[in-house]
Structure 1
Amino acid sequence: MGRQERPLDPGAGPEQRFAFALRKLRSEAGGPTYRAMAQRTPYTVSTLSRAAAGEQLPSLEVTLAYVAACGGEREEWERHWRQTSEEIALRAVEDDDAEPPYQGLARFEPGDHERFFGRDRLVDDLVGLVRTHRFVVLVGASGRGKSSLLRAGLIPRLRGAEEPYESVGEPYERPAAVRILAPGEHPARTHAEALAPMGGEGGESGEGETVVVVDQFEEVFTLCRDPDERKAFLDRLLDARRAGSGLRAVVAVRADFFGHCAEHRELAEACRDATLLIGPRAPDELRDVIVKPATAAGLVVERSLTARLIAEVAGEPGGLPLLSHVLLEAWRRRRGRTLAEATYDAVGGVRGAVARTAEDVYARLTPAQASLARRVLLRLITPGEGAQDTRRGVDRAELDWGDPADTTAVLDRLARARLITLDENTVDLAHEALITAWPRLRGWVAEDRERLRTHRQLTEAARAWEELRRETGALYRGTRLAVAREWAARDGALDELNAVERAFLEASIGLEDGERAAAARRARRLAFLAACLAVLLVVVTAVGVVAVRQRHSAVEAQRVAVSRQLAAQALDLVDSRPGTAMLLAVEAYRTAPTPEARGALLSMSARRSYQAELTGHADAVSEVAFSPDGTLASVGRDGKTVLWDARHHTRLATLTGHATWLRAVDFSPDGRRMATGGDDRKVVLWDVAHRTKVATLTGHRGPVKSVAFSPDGRTVAGSSDDGTVRLWNTDPRRTATQLCTALSRDLTREEWRQLIPEKSYRRTCDMG
């Protein structure tokens, strides 16, 4: 085992607890000597020995080499090492009184201008625009550093202006005041004083103009829901464009909301006149951001770390706050005066540093505090609608959830980790980058996006209700209340409401329930009144029914009398004027169906006679048919077809072409052709004009029961007891076609082949 190692106390701190775990691993591996372990790794005996001495945390590389020599699990020990490193870093922050040179996610303030590097050229451009234009728009994507540029770049330069600067048509002097604001939910009401020039209109005090700096200008569109208030704020702000107004305005808007500025005509014109677009920082500017704050604090950043950070952040949207945060975490874990690349890896890199910090803070909260932290953070976010999610500053009063001590403790924890910022009365996210960089927070927002929108609307409505001294007219009703009730019905939703919101929702529900109860009472009264009216209506109806029945009886007696009189007149005229008699008999029956009217009708009917009786068949007649020109054809059991002149009741011709009972006859639409069919399984086609047989159509295996021509007369069909319908072309020069339908039974393929001669059909359709 070699020399005896100094005893360790796992409770003495994270370093000794980690070293104790390493020694235990070595013991469980059989206690190999450090010399034997050194032969398996690229490290010396002394380096491995110091790793388990407990004096300091070994590097990750040395730790993994030690673990590999003892047969330990690499991933498990890497996780253990990172947790211990986090614990040591947090302890160092609590014990370290030194001012960090980096801001982390927090923005730079005017007092931080001496540590604000890498934006000199942009600050010069912005100051030049402010001196030459009365309304300036600063546009950049989230994470480009707009807020810091305004606060730590522009404002100190404006306040430090010493000599007048000749602008376009008018001199520029030191501002009488520089005011910075964020619009919030009620910009016109909240910032009325801030938009008033120092000393009144036109700067009457002679101290120069007032410069109003509006940060997070997109809140005009995301938080302000009242179009009238939004317009009032914009109109007052745009008044700075007028010479003599005593104001100059600088607004910073996120790039994805820049298009909203076109919705206001004068604002669109102002954006066209003087807009400064912030792009990504150049590599030399990023180098200044990384190196110069450390140099000012007497620290050194390894060149390899600087080069790696520039490569990872250059051109990365929103990468600047993440860079600042990872540098802050590297500073907290520094060893001596150097910020090393190994430390950068330990904190998880640019993307992982924010998530690691946030997760560590969240993991150290009690379950109750963790739930409270979730509610706090979600309150600081406005879910985007077709745009990125945005942060939302709130008053401390909005975070009233019961015990103020718990809320204060959670806010302090989040603020110490620089995840949020605390002003005198305002709580805000340190940066919107936290929303995308922390997976847990991003997941909360995605999970509750629709509910968050409903909650934000409820918050605004409750605040307006409170400002109107709880006016009943400001309460929720109808659909909005139904949506809020559904939202509040889910588990834990009521716990997310503060005192004002809860009172607002309860008052809205109480008002609706009261209105429903009043409506129910009115409905009951109306029902009672309706019942009384119904009784009265029944009485009146009964009286009316008696009167109607009496009148109906009188009318019916009159109708019977008229019917009888008409029937008598019809019988008197039956011989002399039969047509008139028939009309009178019909009218008598329509007036009233009396026995006299029925008798008159029967008498009229009995006098009607048939025109003629045609005889020409020796047996039963089966079927008759008329041609378009009025020629009548009849067929019968004697196998004959007789043609008749129906008008003169004379026989024209007797056609014989069948030897057995004929059952079907039909004329073509033009009357030129006639088809007959019978028990001899044939269909005979006739030329009517010449009384001659045109063709005999065969193929049926049973008696033909009916024949019919197609509307164009080019096809004749026959149906038979054999279960088929056959179609033939009436033109003998064309090949006949056949349509077979298994109507009565299923036929085998061989039966079909026997049934249909190969040369007599054009197409066969199996309908079975």
Structure 2
Amino acid sequence: MYVADGGGASRRRMSGAALMEQFADADGASAALDAFVRARLVTMDSDTVVITHEALLQAWPRLRDWIHADRAGLLLHQQLTHAAVEWEREGRDPSALYRGTRLSTVRAWADELDGRRRLGPGEEAFLHASIAEQRRHERQAGRQVRLRQTMLATLVVLLGLALTAGGLAYQQRESALDQERVARSQALAVRSASLAGGRPEASMLLAGEAYRAHATAEARGALLSTQSQPFLARLSGHRGPVNTVAFAPGDRLLATGSTDGTVTVRRVSDHRRTATFAVSGPVRSIAFSPDGRTLAATSAHGPVSLWDVAGHRRKAVLGPGTEAARALSFDPRGNRLAVATVDGVIEVWDTADTPRVTATLEGHVGAVNALDHAPGGRTLVSAGADRTVRLWDTDRGRQSDVLEDTPTRCWAWRSPRTAGRSPPAASTGPYGCGTYAPDGSPRHCPAAATTSTPWRTRTREVRSSARSATARPGCGTSAAAVRPPSSPATPTM
């Protein structure tokens, strides 16, 4: 019979031999078949067997119950029989065999209640072939899994070796880079030390770079050494060289004059620019008034200008006689300003209200290069191109003393942070500098080879020769004479 999927059962014709092959007890099966034939329930000819009346499948209660109870098994059996026939027709092609879930379902059905007694030879062969093919696939899959596991393990080992080699290479590279940084740090520290005397800013930058490269002992030493250097900062802003600088009283402001024709005023605390004044031509000299409110400036192509520092405006311009003046100095007692003209005359101006000349000091032959007042204000010192340093009594308007000497080299010390530590560039020629201490006693003016000779201005005696000089913005440049570098003797007066 044939059981439809989701429908009822119907009769079907099949081979008698095939029917008998499905029973283990062939004799009992043959006797039962003969009984059905005699009862005309089954029709049998020479080759095939078929149920005589299809109604038997529904009219016979026991048979109907059997079919209903084993419908799923009957369906599986029918499908297995059909698959076995197709497999034989296709020459036992392995692709026609059962596998996977379908094979598992048929195997479970065949194993249940000793179901193999109901399978024919073709079905049995098909099922065994399917099982064998499934096992072969499982073995092959197992080999592939083991191969993948072996490859994965090999890759893990190779990865571990690669990581180890990479770690070693990284350590070697870091070691080489560390050695390079140490060498670079040491080289920069050495370079920083070599520039400490002449180029302090570069020395500081190199010391910082050396410490950033590697904190070697040399780098730490160079960095600590820069803390004792007098250099604090580099001030930029001018478009040309700076010719002159001046501190305001109290050291709160710093003015700088440049060849670009500008005077810049900055705060000392933060180096911030507070004012910029323009003059005609390169700036030669600048000076603050004692109260710090007025700034005087002289240029190569114009007269002396007076500027209001707080108001950022020009207050006055002195007479044409002050044009191209070389030096300026305010009397610390008030508003009087000494101006060194190009013809060797020193004019003393009263800068209060309307500026006017109050005294004219004559004595130098040629230009006057430097001026400064003693702290008391009564004495003015001038250094000229005639190789003389002259002291003037400004109250009486006359000369009080003259110091003469041969050409020499000297420096003007103005910064309290650099005095006595590192000399600026020297100038060779007639006198252009000198200094008083804050208490009025004379100080030195360094000569060639960084030597200096202080004089007693009252007795005109040489006090001593020194290897350094000190001066502060309050005392400025006043009067001094130094011996020539080539002669150890006392200068001739």
TM-score when scaled to structure 2?
A: 0.34
| Structure whose residues are more often helix by fraction | 1
Normalized against structure 1, the TM-score is what? 0.22
